[in-house]
Structure 1
Amino acid sequence: MCLGIPGRVLSVHDVAGLRMATVDFGGVRREVCLEYTPGASVDEYVIVHVGFAITTVDEQEAQRTLDVLRAMGDAVAGELGEPLPPGDDARLPPSRGAASSDPVPTARPEEGRSAP
């Protein structure tokens, strides 16, 4: 199974002419290529697939997705090489966090999705 995992861009740098970043996946940090997301910058969230950031996503959606991925256990370890650390309920300020009644998305269709 291949997953797109959300992570927060910690730093951006150049490696041999490629735009790269250190990205934090809820406690696991990896080097990621940003060539497909030229607008991504520090403190923004990107969806990463096989070492490439493929799109940006807002913080709330990233945290929701990380929560779902934590519940999947070994699937994430296969992609990152180690499991995600347990979640921290205090990671988001209350004004930016998801309300407890918000449903957790189980799938996100990429095809045919229109911009807001």
Structure 2
Amino acid sequence: MCLGIPGEVVEVREDRSDLAKVDVSGVRRVINIGLLEGEEAVGPGDWILIHVGFALSKIDEREAQAALDFLKGIGQDYEDELDALRQSHIE
């Protein structure tokens, strides 16, 4: 099962505005935010929904917390998604 998981933007890269470092339950990775171009700007402190290294949408903190609570409740699928994120690498 593949999940969209919420992450908080830590920084947007200055040299590549389509990439941002995000924190997902303590795992920090660079992900692609290019699909969000044309939407509201994304910056540090914003929450986004991530799937396979790409930001799919910007969400508010309340939505992010509700999604994290749900994902933690489903157990292994969430852990599998975090493991996949830990192993990912985008530059």
TM-score normalised per structure 2: 0.79
Tell whether 2:53 aligns with 1:51.
yes
- How far residue 35 of structure 1 moved from its aligned partner, in angstroms, is 0.3
Aligned to 1:78: 80
- Given that residues 18 and 33 in structure 1 are in contact (C-alpha distance below 8 angstroms), is that contact kept between their aligned partners in structure 2? no
- Over residues 73-93 of structure 1, what are the superposed CA-to-partner deviations in whole Å (9 max), with x where a residue is unaligned? 2111222217xxxxxxxxxxx
- Over residues 10-67 of structure 1, what are the superposed CA-to-partner deviations in whole Å (9 max), with x where a residue is unaligned? 011056x561111111222221111011321111000000000010000011011101
Percent of pairs identical after alignment? 40
Hey, which of these two has a bigger chunk of helix by percent? 2
TM-score normalised per structure 1: 0.63
Unaligned runs of 5+ in 2: 85-91
Aligned length in residues: 81
Alignment-mate amino acid for residue 57 of structure 2: T
Aligned to 1:3: 3
SS of match in other structure, 1:9: strand
Determine which of 44, 52, 60 is the counterpart of 1:42: 44
Q: Tell me how large the CA RMSD over aligned residues is.
A: 1.7
- Over residues 70-112 of structure 1, what are the superposed CA-to-partner deviations in whole Å (9 max), with x where a residue is unaligned? 1112111222217xxxxxxxxxxxxxxxxxxxxxxxxxxxxxx
Counterpart CA distance in 2 for 1:72 and 1:42 is 28
Unaligned runs of 5+ in 1: 83-116
Hey, which of these two has a bigger chunk of strand by percent? 2
Moved over 2 A (4+): none
